[in-house]
Amino acid sequence: MIEALVSGQAAAYAILGKSTVVHHLGGHTTSLPRGAVGFAFQGCTDVRQIKAKSEKEVAALCKLERDVDRALRLLLMIFEDPFEEVETLRELLDALVDHPFVMEGLEKAMYVATLPIRCDVSALAEVFRPSRVLSRFFEQLSADQPLIARVREALDAVPKSTFKTVAKYEVFQAAVFSAGFQRDLVLSLRSGKPVDLAILKFTGELRHIEGARDAIQLWTAEMRSNRKPLPSNALEEEDELDHPERSFGEAGRKILERVLIQQNAIRERLKSRDLEGARRFARQLIEQQASNSSKEQIGKSLSRLSILAKQQGVPELQLEWAEQAVEQNPYDAITFAHLIDALICSNRLHDAEKLVHELEEKSDTLFLRTARARLLRVTGRYPEAREKYLQAVSSFPNDPEVRHAKAGAVETLRDLGLYDLALKEYEVLVAEDPLNQVFQCGLASVCMDLGLFDRAIAGFNKAGDRRNTIALNGRATAYKLAGKFDAAIRLYDQVIAEFPNDVVSLCGKAEVYRAQGDLLQALSAFETAVDRSPFTSGPVAGKVNVLRDLGRLDELEEFLEAATKKFPYDHAIASGYADVLRVTGQLPNALAAYDAVLQKFPFAISARMARANVLRRLDRPEEALRDYNRLLAERPYLASAKHAKASLLLEKGDYHAVEGLISERQPRSYEEWTGFFLRAMLYQSKGQTFKSMKLLEEGMKRTPFARQRRLFAAAFSRQRIRSGEPSLAVKSIDASPNEVSNIIRLHALAASGRDILAKEAWSAMSHAKPHISSEIIDLAGEIARRYRVIEGGPERTVEWIYQMETKLMLEEATSGSFEMKRAAA
Give the tens place of pLDDT for each residue, 139-163: 888 888 888 888 888 898 888 888 8
Say if residues 333 and 363 touch (Cβ distance below 8 Å): yes
Three-class secondary structure of residue 42 per DSSP: coil
Say if residues 685 and 719 touch (Cβ distance below 8 Å): no
pLDDT for the residue 383: 96
Q: To the nearest 5 percent, what fractions of the chain are helix, strand and coil? A: 70, 5, 25
**In 10 A of CB 53, how many CB atoms?**
9
Please state the separation of Cα 670 from the chain's center in Å: 22
- Write b or e for each residue in 782-818: b if 16 or more Cβ atoms lie within 10 A of its Cβ, otherwise e: bbbbbbebbeeeeeeeeeebeebbbbbbbbbbbbbbb
Three-class secondary structure of residue 51 per DSSP: strand
Of 185, 194, 202, the residue nearest 225 (C-alpha): 194
pLDDT for the residue 239: 34
Domain boundaries, the chain: 148-237+244-256, 638-824
> Mean pLDDT by 10-residue block, N- to C-terminus, for the chain (825 residues)?
85 79 77 64 75 89 90 78 66 85 88 72 73 83 86 87 84 85 89 82 83 87 60 37 35 44 81 92 83 82 91 94 94 90 95 94 91 95 96 92 94 95 96 87 94 88 72 92 92 91 96 95 96 94 93 91 94 93 90 96 93 94 96 93 96 93 89 95 95 96 94 95 92 84 94 93 84 84 94 92 94 71 44
Task: List the beta bridge partners of residue 20.
Answer: 32
What is 191-251 written as a DSSP string? Answer: HT--SHHHHHHHHHHTTTSTTHHHHHHHHTTTTS-SPPPPPGGGSPP--GGG-TTSBSSSS
Domain 638-824 has CATH 3.40.50.1000: no
Q: CA 36, CA 278: separation in Å to the nearest integer?
A: 33
Say if residues 308 and 267 touch (Cβ distance below 8 Å): yes
The angle formed by the CA atoms of residues 706, 710 and 712, to the nearest 5 degrees, is 115
Q: CA 679, CA 742: separation in Å to the nearest integer?
A: 23
Say if residues 325 and 300 touch (Cβ distance below 8 Å): yes
What is 238-306 written as a DSSP string? Answer: --GGG-TTSBSSSS-SSHHHHHHHHHHHHHHHHHTT-HHHHHHHHHHHHHHHHTT--HHHHHHHHHHHH
pLDDT for the residue 258: 55
Taking the alpha carbons at both ends of the chain, their separation in whole angstroms is: 70
Largest Cα–Cα distance in the chain?
112
Backbone phi, psi, residue 47, to 5°: -70, 130
Amino acid letter for position 384: E
Q: Is 433 exposed, middle or buried (0-12, 13-18, 19+ CB in 10 A)?
A: middle
**In 10 A of CB 222, how many CB atoms?**
9
Of the CA atoms within 13 Å of residue 501, those in its CB half-sphere come to: 24
Packing angle, helices 295-311 and 275-290, rounded to 10: 160
Q: CA 805, CA 771: separation in Å to the nearest integer?
A: 19
Task: List the beta bridge partners of residue 21.
Answer: 15, 31
What is 642-689 written as a DSSP string? Answer: HHHHHHHHHHHT-HHHHHTTS--SPP-SHHHHHHHHHHHHHHHHTT-H
Amino acid letter for position 461: N
pTM beyond 0.95, yes or no: no
Say if residues 514 and 483 touch (Cβ distance below 8 Å): no
- Write b or e for each residue in 744-766: b if 16 or more Cβ atoms lie within 10 A of its Cβ, otherwise e: bbbbbbbbbebeebbbebbeebe
Q: Strand 19-24: give its sheet, edge to edge.
A: 29-33, 19-24, 12-15, 2-7, 48-52
Of the CA atoms within 13 Å of residue 743, those in its CB half-sphere come to: 28
- Residue 328's alpha-carbon distances to 109, 298, 321, 332, 598, in angstroms, are 30, 7, 10, 10, 45
